[in-house]
Amino acid sequence: MSDNLYDLFRSRFPADRGRSFIETGDGRAYAYADLEAISGRYARLLAELGVAKGDRVAVQVEKSPEAVFLYLACLRAGAIYLPLNTAYTRAEIEYFLTDAEPRVFVCPPGQEEGFAATAAKAGVAHVLTLGPDGGGTLSEGAAGLAPEFPTVAASASDLAAILYTSGTTGRSKGAMMSHANLASNALTLHRYWGWRPEDVLLHALPIFHTHGLFVATNCVLLNGTAMLFLPKFDIDEVFRLLPRASVMMGVPTFYTRMLGDSRLDRAAAAHMRLFISGSAPLLADTHREFQQRTGHAILERYGMTETGMLTSNPLDGERIPGTVGFPLPGVELRVADPETARVLGPEEIGVIEVKGPNVFGGYWRMPEKTRAEFRPDGFFITGDVGKVDARGYVHIVGRAKDLVICGGYNVYPKEVETVIDALDGVVESAVVGVPHPDFGEAVVAVVLRRPGRGDVTEAGVIAACKEQLANYKVPKRVFFTEELPRNTMGKVQKNLLREEHRDLFA
Ligand code: AMP
């Protein structure tokens, strides 16, 4: 067995290949035998199209079982899988194709002509199509081919995937993930979360992102069991399928939406073993309310594209709301002073740095960027600001680039948000810095009130902050909103809020 990730998965497939791997919301069912045959045919087609070891295969398609088989086919063919967010525009895709120079690009049926010129310019040899129902030229080309395909041997450091980071500032960077990066993280998560032979995952996440692809799907593949596969988070579908699932992974928005639905109670979650949350901070209130309603303490974990998962609250043991738990086995995590790189002690706030077999090798064709984000001793600088508390639980306080500097003083938005979120009548808040003629930046809060709580006012929020926070941290202005802007992974898009309030003090 080589270090090809597919070989690892295959070693865990059920002996009875007739067992279910994917069932879609609309009733399509795929067994492990289908996985092997379809990914084998796709791999054969890729090889026939000249895809050799190390070639990139870029994919921007809707979520479908066939897209998972394409991911596995790339592994089997020794190619580098390059999934792209379905929200990317044609101009953005042009950047990715030019940067990554894939041999093959797969897009939705009907879009191949629109991409033809871009693909040709970027030197892409073949443009194939794949639709949400599995149709398109990929499946047509693979249809007559033999299903057997000898998996191409790969070494631990060979690349399995390139994932472009969401890049809220500057250019999106391609994180190069090796077979060993992905294997080590999947094995660790599978063990840490105590996967059982009867587990069934409810999968409602996108699969172009590390969460839905490498955390969720890879765990299922290692477990050799089934997942219920929804094209997207659909609340009715989630409640319909929960009684058949035992594990669910979601972004915090999934859980707040479930809380907003009267169907969420103990009976609805009775068959569930584990609810996991990540990709954005889960409000402590959401955690508590969910536990009250269902009896389940959501397990929050933390990670990022470049590193896979880094920390997790325990399976057995206290899951503390507002924390992301302990560093996972094999992950070294430390907190350092962002300026001097001095390693800080418990309870001290600084930048989180990590090292481990799961941490990526670097950014695609960006050696300078890569060097700038690693310490000389090999620790990767995550850019997340946080602390490790006295009990060893990791807390995320914000992003380093989120930092607001008001009159020369550092303000971590999370600290202010925590005070505001705790106020009666407040659901949540987002704090940003906007340009200010005197202070450089000024703190501004955008607040979501509970329904009917118009009595929560700007003056009230400011007064409450003044009681608990140093003056420079108190928001100069407070705005109310019906909804905070979020991306598909549930992250609040603070850049949009900063933009909206940019001229406030001009
Ligand atoms: P991405 O690379 O898109 O997965 O984004 C990774 C970033 O999401 C991290 O660097 C964190 O800033 C944030 N993140 C992920 N999980 C959590 C969490 N549980 N709590 C707070 N922030 C998180």
pLDDT tens per residue across span 173-190:
999 999 999 999 999 999
Beta carbons within 8 Å of 14's beta carbon, 6+ residues apart:
32, 224, 225
Give the model's pLDDT for residue 88. 86
183 CA distance to ligand 1 middle (Å): 20
Q: Which two tokens stand for residue 348?
A: 């001290």
How confident is the prediction for the chain on average, in pLDDT? 95
| Range in 73-87, 204-218, 411-425 with the lowest mean pLDDT | 411-425
279 CA distance to ligand 1 middle (Å): 4
Helical ranges in 399-441 per DSSP H: 413-421
Q: Rounded to the nearest 10 degrees, how much is the dihedral formed by the CA atoms of 254, 259, 261, 264?
A: 100
Top-confidence residue, 280 or 241: 241
Candidates 384, 394, 418: which one to mutate for ligand 1, based on the most atoms within 8 Å of Cβ?
A: 384
Q: Which protein residue's CA is at the shortest distance from atom 4 of ligand 1?
A: 304
> Does residue 129's CB lie within 6 angstroms of at least one atom of ligand 1?
no
Q: Which residues of 103-132 are buried (b: 16+ CB within 10 A; e: fewer)?
A: bbbbbbbeebeebeebbeebebebbbbbbb
Give the model's pLDDT for residue 403. 82
Question: Would the pLDDT of 113 be above 60?
Answer: yes
> Does residue 284's CB lie within 6 angstroms of at least one atom of ligand 1?
no
Instruction: Report CA-CA distances (Å) from 114 to 48, 60, 63, 141.
Output: 24, 13, 21, 20
> Does residue 373's CB lie within 6 angstroms of at least one atom of ligand 1?
no
- The helix/strand/coil state of 213 is helix
The Cα 176–Cα 439 span in angstroms is 40
Q: Which protein residue's CA is at the shortest distance from atom 9 of ligand 1?
A: 304
> Does residue 269's CB lie within 6 angstroms of at least one atom of ligand 1?
no
Q: Which amino acid is at 384?
A: D
pLDDT tens per residue across span 384-442:
999 999 999 999 988 887 888 887 777 889 889 999 999 999 999 999 999 998 888 99
Q: Are 484 and 440 in contact (CB under 8 A)?
A: no
Local confidence band at 230 (pLDDT 50, 70, 90 cut-offs):
very high
- The helix/strand/coil state of 310 is strand
278 CA distance to ligand 1 middle (Å): 7
Strand intervals (E) in 114-207: 126-129, 159-164, 174-178, 200-203
Give the model's pLDDT for residue 402. 81
Q: Rounded to the nearest 10 degrees, how much is the dihedral formed by the CA atoms of 359, 383, 331, 53?
A: -10
420 CA distance to ligand 1 middle (Å): 21
Instruction: Report CA-CA distances (Å) from 310 to 292, 322, 328, 353.
Output: 28, 16, 6, 10
166 CA distance to ligand 1 middle (Å): 11
pLDDT tens per residue across span 293-325:
999 999 999 999 999 999 999 999 999 999 999
Candidates 162, 207, 396: which one to mutate for ligand 1, based on the most atoms within 8 Å of Cβ?
A: 396
Q: Which protein residue's CA is at the shortest distance from atom 21 of ligand 1?
A: 281
Give the model's pLDDT for residue 90. 87
Q: Which two tokens stand for residue 224?
A: 């050799």
Number of the ligand 1 atom closest to the C-alpha atom of 277: 19
Q: Which two tokens stand for residue 260?
A: 């907003």
- The helix/strand/coil state of 175 is strand
> Does residue 298's CB lie within 6 angstroms of at least one atom of ligand 1?
no
397 CA distance to ligand 1 middle (Å): 11
Q: Which two tokens stand for residue 141?
A: 């080309």
165 CA distance to ligand 1 middle (Å): 11
Candidates 165, 209, 279: which one to mutate for ligand 1, based on the most atoms within 8 Å of Cβ?
A: 279
Give the model's pLDDT for residue 170. 59
- The helix/strand/coil state of 45 is helix
Provide the pairing of β-strand 104-107 with 350-355: unpaired
pTM for the model = 0.91
Taking residue 48's Cβ as centre, other Cβ atoms within 10 Å add up to 11
Q: Which protein residue's CA is at the shortest distance from atom 6 of ligand 1?
A: 304
The Cα 322–Cα 311 span in angstroms is 13
Give the model's pLDDT for residue 185. 98
> Does residue 396's CB lie within 6 angstroms of at least one atom of ligand 1?
yes
Query: What would the mean pLDDT of 91-104 be, rounded to a whole number?
Result: 94
Q: Which two tokens stand for residue 54?
A: 């190390």
Query: What would the mean pLDDT of 248-261 be, rounded to a whole number?
Result: 95
The Cα 450–Cα 447 span in angstroms is 10
From the number of C-beta atoms within 10 Å of its C-beta (0-12, 13-18, 19+), residue 264 rates as buried
Give the model's pLDDT for residue 171. 73
> Does residue 382's CB lie within 6 angstroms of at least one atom of ligand 1?
yes
490 CA distance to ligand 1 middle (Å): 10
Q: Which protein residue's CA is at the shortest distance from atom 23 of ligand 1?
A: 280
Local confidence band at 489 (pLDDT 50, 70, 90 cut-offs):
confident
74 CA distance to ligand 1 middle (Å): 27
pLDDT tens per residue across span 147-180:
999 999 999 999 999 999 865 455 789 999 999 9
Query: What would the mean pLDDT of 13-25 be, rounded to a whole number?
Result: 98
Candidates 491, 494, 495: which one to mutate for ligand 1, based on the most atoms within 8 Å of Cβ?
A: 491
- The helix/strand/coil state of 335 is strand
The Cα 289–Cα 193 span in angstroms is 22
Give the model's pLDDT for residue 167. 55
Instruction: Report CA-CA distances (Å) from 195 to 12, 218, 356.
Output: 13, 12, 22
Number of the ligand 1 atom closest to the C-alpha atom of 489: 3
280 CA distance to ligand 1 middle (Å): 5
Give the model's pLDDT for residue 488. 84
> Does residue 166's CB lie within 6 angstroms of at least one atom of ligand 1?
yes
